[in-house]
Amino acid sequence: MSLNPSKVKNKMPMQDASIRSTNFDEVNLGYSLNMAIDEANRCLNCKNAPCVKGCPVNINIPKFIGFVKENNINEAYKVILESSYLPSICGRVCPQENQCEKMCTRGIAINAEPVGIGYLERYVADNATLNSFDKKENNGIKIAVIGSGPAGLSCAGSLAKLGYDVTIFESLHLAGGVLTYGIPEFRLPKEIVKKEIEKLKILGVKIVTDFIVGKTISLENLQKKWGFAGIFIGTGAGLPKFMGIKGENYNGVFSANEFLTRINLMKGFDDKFDTPFKHYKKIAVVGGGNVAMDAVRCAKRLGAEAYLIYRRTENEMPARKEEVLHAKEEDIIFKFLTNPVEIIGDENFNVKSIKCVEMELGEEDQSGRRSVKEKENSEFLLDVDCVIMALGTSPNPLLSKSTKDLEINKRGCIVVNEETNETSIKNVYAGGDAVSGAATVILAMESGKKAAYYLDKALSEK
């Protein structure tokens, strides 16, 4: 087929904002075959492939897009699987605009929109019909993966493909980690997560749920008594942060972690389930990242008037631009250059308002981010009955406190060899948010994949 010269990528079909803001169904509906082929034909098939350099897991992007051009979706899928085990997920939640698409020649050299690489990855993964995958013969060597989030799943898939006997230990009753309990259904349907995990099971990966390493059994005994030759820790960063302001202990104040877990894992939006979430009238979410966006858009779907409070401007928000745009279309009320200083409660200790101050931007710091300072005499009250803090997370200390000789830093993150991802304990590796602190799905996958490579190398040499 001939090259599509269009400067604009094919738009993603989606639910109308007025409808989607009342349900939890997926917002983006996916390309049709014709749209996927048309978008694939915008790819210039660059010889130096800068897009690959922008992909944390180094997918051969021009090659898989070339197969899409030929309507050979299964071959395109095989190319992606050489580098990534969660393409249906990555095609939906990866910040492609800051990675592969940012490096796209079409977007840089000829002043056009980059090729919709993420949209094409999603199409391929959703529509491929393969149900068997290449793997080496089982070598009988047991590997334990602690945590079934993106880092753990990526590590498990990489090692299973190499022939290892891999078991994932998950503390919750469903596998998927943040993919299951953190990211809302309207952005990442849980059926998609289940399908990706089922593909790992086809590779031979076993998953044990309701099992807390560090409590159910020690990490040391996984090695000595249960005979796991290697261990990967991918426990994520599930410990929420708060502001430390007065009133954070009132009824109606939640961390984004608890709120999203109750919505996603426990189906709290549906009164038919055992733990429905209370119907609040006005909900304020504090923060400016993707988790804050997920929380405030969930609040809207629960029927509340939803506010997003962020102390800087929209330009400084770390959230994906697409998510911010979707939130605006859904009538989320943004309160930029605003910072909470106190939560006000009634006589029964229920939230009734949040006291805020106006902020203004100052000079840039060493990282290039502008500082903020409070405007004098700018206090005001915002009437709300629920406040959700989405201010970041840190690793849960349970495993590190129960594991002798596991080195952690002052932020509570596991210390690893930067080249290999091995921890202070021999043949125990770690990756994802447990090492880096809260980051993206694809970066967690990258670290899991890297750890698998070096763990295999260490065990092979042994």
For 412-444, how does the pLDDT look when each residue is reduced to its tens digit (9 = 90+)?
999 999 999 999 999 999 999 999 998 899 999
Pair 247, 344: CB distance under 8 Å: yes
Query: What would the mean pLDDT of 96-114 be, rounded to a whole number?
Result: 89
Span 242-391 CATH architecture = 3-Layer(bba) Sandwich (3.50)
Residue range 94-113: mean pLDDT, rounded: 89
Distance CA 380, CA 355 (A): 6
357 CB contacts (<8 Å, ≥6 apart)? 338, 339, 341, 374, 375, 378, 379, 380
Say whether 242-391 and 142-237+394-461 share the same fold: yes
Q: What is the pLDDT of residue 309?
A: 98
* Homologous superfamily (CATH) for 17-127: Alpha-helical ferredoxin (1.10.1060.10)
pLDDT > 80? residue 182: yes
Residue 180 above 90 pLDDT? yes
In tens, the pLDDT along 4-50 reads 888 899 999 999 999 999 999 999 999 999 999 999 999 999 889 99
State the pLDDT at residue 229.
96
Averaged confidence pLDDT in the chain: 94
**CA pair distance 204, 325, nearest whole angstrom:** 41
How do the domains of the chain map onto residue ranges? Answer: 17-127, 142-237+394-461, 242-391
* CATH level 2 (architecture), domain 142-237+394-461: 3-Layer(bba) Sandwich (3.50)
What pLDDT, on the 0 to 100 scale, is given for residue 2? Answer: 65
> Is residue 461 a contact partner of residue 245, using CB atoms and an 8 Å limit?
no
Q: Is 225 exposed, middle or buried (0-12, 13-18, 19+ CB in 10 A)?
A: exposed
Q: Which of helix, strand or coil describes residue 174?
A: coil
290-301 and 321-329 are packed helices; what angle lies between their axes, rounded to 10 degrees? 20
1: confidence class by pLDDT, cuts 50, 70, 90: low
* DSSP per residue, 95-136: -GGGTTGGG-HHHHTSSSPPP-HHHHHHHHHHH--------P
Pair 384, 354: CB distance under 8 Å: yes
pLDDT digits 0-9 by tens, 252-270: 999 999 999 999 988 888 8
The answer to whether residues 323 and 13 touch, using CB atoms and an 8 Å cutoff, is no
Residue 447 in 3-state DSSP?
helix
Average pLDDT of the residues in 179-191: 95
Per-residue pLDDT tens over the stretch 206-230: 999 999 999 999 999 999 999 999 9
Strands 428-430 and 230-233: parallel
Taking a C-beta distance cutoff of 8 angstroms, is the pair 85, 57 a contact?
A: no
DSSP three-state, residue 222: helix
* Span 373-394, average pLDDT: 96
Residue among 39, 26, 30 at smallest CA distance from 114: 39
- Is 85:157 a contact under the CB 8 Å cutoff? yes
Instruction: Pick the closest to residue 76 from 56, 62, 90 (CA basis).
Output: 62
| pLDDT band at 273; cut points 50, 70, 90 | confident
Least confident piece of the model among 9-23, 256-270, 334-348, 365-379 = 365-379
Closest among 270, 272, 307, 305 to 288, alpha carbons compared: 307
Banded model confidence at residue 452, pLDDT cuts 50, 70, 90? very high
Residue owning tokens 């930067």? 418
* Structural tokens at position 407: 């080195």
> What DSSP character marks residue 62?
H
Q: Does pLDDT of 3 surpass 90?
A: no
Structural contact between residues 400 and 210, judged by C-beta atoms closer than 8 angstroms: no
Lowest mean pLDDT among 3-7, 279-283, 292-296, 307-311: 3-7
- What is d(CA 392, CA 438) in angstroms, rounded to the nearest whole number? 7
- Considering just the CA atoms, what is the radius of gyration of the chain in Å? 23
Q: What is the pLDDT of residues 148-174, one digit of tens each?
A: 999 999 999 999 999 999 999 999 999
CB contact set of 141 (below 8 Å; sequence gap of 6+): 163, 164, 165, 229, 230, 459
Residue 131 has pLDDT above 80, yes or no: no
Strand partners, 217: 213
- Rounded to whole angstroms, the Cα distance separating 458 from 56 reads 23
What percent of the chain has pLDDT above 70? Answer: 99
Q: How confident is the model at residue 135, as a pLDDT?
A: 86
Residue 109 pLDDT greater than 80, yes or no: no
pTM for this predicted structure: 0.93
State the Cα–Cα distance between residues 402 and 212, nearest whole angstrom: 11
**Structure confidence at residue 85 (pLDDT):** 87
Residues making up the chain, counted from first to last:
462
